[in-house]
Structure 1
Amino acid sequence: MKLFLSVLALAVASASAFESVVPHKDAPLGSGSSIAGRITNGYPAYEGKVPYIVGLGFSSSSGGWWCGGSIIGNTWVVTAAHCTNNAESVTIYYGASWRLQAQYTHTVGSGNFRQHSNYNTNNLNNDISLINTPHVDFWSLVNKVELPTYNDRYNNYAGWWALASGWGRTSDDSTVSDYLNCVDQQIIENSQCSSVYGTDVITNDVICTATPDGKSTCAGDSGGPLVTHDGNRLVGVTSFVAANGCTAGLPDGFTRVTSYLDWIRDNTGISY
């Protein structure tokens, strides 16, 4: 994480008015460490509210970390590229409200990852990955979320309300909370977001939300879903927050799913 912050600081040094960003991947899961809590200033999700979310416990030779993901098909999960990057395997937790008390789990190796080939670790461009999973049947607690249709590819969704969910931290220095939480967020214009982070980070492939009253995603929410209230479509994959804190009131950043509909179709065969 320190290396990431150092490299990213260099990337935005030419525009010192811009904030740095940090990804939402949680702290390592190695011995003695714990998986951090929940979304900041959100609310608990009742059982079955977000049946499309999965918990992702990644492992590598250097340790492990926690992310979220979204079920988009019987054998596919979408998450953030900074979650799959350098991972050797992942355990997928299906149908959990309490983070590690899943209805069932599957573990797959990195050969099942489809990380975007143009993912950039410096500015988090193309921060999206797919995971090919064993087949899962859908029911009330485990179900897919639909992608936007091709007719929506030019919709910027500014002004729309959407639901983010995950097991991320309550605050930047929070104690652990294992329960799934949600937060309702309003999508904003990219121009509002680029004025904070710069155009190197905020491209047309990013979608941002406002975070009034500290209502935000946070560490541990990486890769999780941003789903519209109207139509229940997956429009964002949780990517980053301002380096000065989840509750600082600065925009949250997500990978814009409509920018990757062709890439998802080419890798999974899923399209609408």
Structure 2
Amino acid sequence: MPNATRGWAIPTATDIAFVLAVLAVTASALPMALRPFPLTLAVLDDLGAIGGKPSFLPLPAAVVVLAVFGLLQPRRVRSAFLYVLLGVAAWVLLHESGIHPTVAGVACGLLMNVDGDPSPATRADHVSRPISAGFAVPVFAFLAAGVPLDLSALGGVFTDRIALGVLLGLVVGKFGGVVGGVFGGAWLSVRLGFARISPDLVWRDIVAVSVLAGVGFTVSLLIGDRAFQGDTRATTAVLMASVIASLLAAPLLRIRVRTRARDDI
């Protein structure tokens, strides 16, 4: 199908807000060590998904701005205005370089200092959470979805090659695709010594969360809109895949909760 490859990155993204919401509802009793896994996954796959064709003139300037942002953290500089200014500058420079400016927010988040009580990262989260969770995410989801969820649109997902590819990519490919998917990648990383699994976890816990990684709501919708402007096929597939992945992962997580509770008796 012509230009179908433009949407290759749609199934790459994981929506961490919805993943953590499902974990909180279905598996709050599982060890806290399980939470960093989807958080790390979401950062890495979003970075891989939203990159573009770079223009290298503004890119070094963006790197310098982000470096200054990071160097100010351990020096306990508290000026919110300065950090906002640096963040906006990084956003603009990355946009001009051809890389999606969302990366600026991810990079600033990774550079935030987490030491101290409360840490700069904790204070920033406290200030920004009402805006991001209460306004930005719902508004983005509402505006980005923009698809009529009637029976014909839902049924068309299973007959359209682009929509079906997105659906299978999120539900099947994210868990165990050609190169192992999320679970296979995690297992291989541990086997090769690049990472280690927490003593509080077992591989069956990782299996359940890897299925949940198929929830690709917000960033997948953004990529789909950029790849197929005005075409709702990919958007409908993302919404269906996110629901299916949640429904598949929820019972797996509940089984892990019950198994752990029984083993602790």
Normalising by structure 1, we get a TM-score of: 0.25
As a proportion of its length, which structure holds more helix?
2
Name whichever structure is richer in strand by fraction: 1
Larger Rg computed on CA atoms: 2
